[in-house]
Amino acid sequence: MSRPGRGSDDGWFHLGRVEVTTTVLVVVLAIASFIVWALEPASKPIQNHLTLDSTAVTNGQVWRLITWPIACPNGLGIFSIIAVALFWYFGTEIEALLGKKKMAWFLGLITVGLGLLWVAVVEVSGSTGALSSLNQLELMVLLVFIAEYPNRRFFFNIPGWVIGVVIIAYSMLVYLGQGNYLLLINFVLGLALTALVARSMGLLAEIRGVPRVAVRRKRRTRKQKKRSASGPTVVQGPWQGPQSPVVSRDQAALDALLDKIHAHGMDSLTDQEREQLLVLRDRLRRR
């Protein structure tokens, strides 16, 4: 697998030469949380206020529904670092399809949705426990990427859909074997919620059975400028030819890659250009 390509729009801001997109912003916050964990006292008061505790949420601490993915009350481990790296890799791929604004909504809805599911399941079952770390959010992002590109090859040339089936089956078997039905229910509901959000954002178009929730946006009405009484009025008539359509930046980039292939062949593309070709083709196909 090659390194993910650049997204369709610019980041929110820059940190030096680093373009901070939505995915990168979450990664930066997670790394900052690791540093805070290392510097704060042994009782970890800051981390404990970031975790998702159902009792605390019902008592009004609603910010926990958003902060739980970057909380690390149990410390920094190798799996935490791997989760951050995988989240960056596959999150960047998805953000290349959605753009920074849709990616923010995508991650926000999944984060809050998974948090509310956790609170509901814990309160109904009468159990206890707190939700934290980027692992679960990273897993959902990975599964969405696999569902979007089921035939993409992973390590050892294994198709993505096989990796996805193994991950889901392994997680469910572990929960069943441990008798942890609370986490099993939360995991299954989380998969359904993530699929619904992804489909509503325009992803998973090839997967049948996942409904799409249409979000209607209010169209902004532009105020018409007052025309000057003395200015001439231009009347358009049939003698004027049709205006040429505006070529989008994505279409222009795709045309440039196709021209290079036509002139020098497919082998002339670099790995990054091949990746960009796939991303542009899929994104323009959805329009």
pLDDT category at 287 given cuts 50, 70, 90 is: low
> 88 vs 27, 84, 139, CA distance in Å?
7, 6, 12
Burial category of 112 from C-beta neighbours within 10 Å (exposed 0-12, middle 13-18, buried 19 and up): middle
Res 165 pLDDT > 90: yes
* Helix (H/G/I), strand (E/B), else coil: 20: strand
pLDDT the model gives residue 190: 93
pLDDT category at 6 given cuts 50, 70, 90 is: very low
The CB-based long-range contact list for 268-277 (8 Å cut-off, 24+ gap) reads 271/2, 271/3, 272/2, 272/3, 272/5, 274/2, 275/2, 275/3, 275/4, 275/5, 276/5, 276/6
- The C-alpha atoms of residue 207 and residue 196 are separated, in whole angstroms, by 11
- The C-alpha atoms of residue 87 and residue 170 are separated, in whole angstroms, by 20
Q: What pTM was computed for the model?
A: 0.72
Instruction: Work out the mean pLDDT of the chain and round it to a whole number.
Output: 82
Res 82 pLDDT > 70: yes
- The C-alpha atoms of residue 212 and residue 231 are separated, in whole angstroms, by 49
- The C-alpha atoms of residue 92 and residue 107 are separated, in whole angstroms, by 12
Mean pLDDT throughout 58-74?
93
- The C-alpha atoms of residue 100 and residue 98 are separated, in whole angstroms, by 7
* pLDDT tens column, 218-253: 555 555 544 444 555 555 555 555 554 545 777 787
Mean pLDDT throughout 23-28?
95
Instruction: Please report, for the chain, the start and end positions of each structural domain, with discontinuous segments joined by +.
Output: 13-200, 252-286
What amino acid is encoded at 285 in this protein?
R
Cα Rg of the chain, angstroms: 23
Res 32 pLDDT > 50: yes
pLDDT the model gives residue 128: 78
Both tokens of 85, joined, read 């790296």
Asked if residue 196 lies in contact with residue 277, where contact means CB atoms within 8 angstroms, the answer is no
Q: What percent of the chain has pLDDT over 90?
A: 48
Of the listed ranges 2-11, 75-84, 140-149, the one predicted with least confidence:
2-11
- The C-alpha atoms of residue 183 and residue 136 are separated, in whole angstroms, by 11
pLDDT the model gives residue 286: 62
Res 65 pLDDT > 90: yes
- Phi, psi for residue 257 in degrees, rounded to 5: -70, -40
* pLDDT tens column, 100-155: 999 999 999 999 999 999 999 888 888 777 889 999 999 999 999 999 999 998 88
Among 176-180, 192-196, 236-240, top mean pLDDT goes to 192-196
Res 53 pLDDT > 70: yes
Looking at per-residue pLDDT, the higher value among 7 and 40 belongs to: 40
Asked if residue 140 lies in contact with residue 150, where contact means CB atoms within 8 angstroms, the answer is no
260 Cβ contact list (under 8 Å, min separation 6): 268, 269, 273
pLDDT the model gives residue 181: 84
Res 268 pLDDT > 50: yes
Topology of domain 13-200, per CATH? Rhomboid-like fold (1.20.1540)
Mean pLDDT throughout 158-164?
94
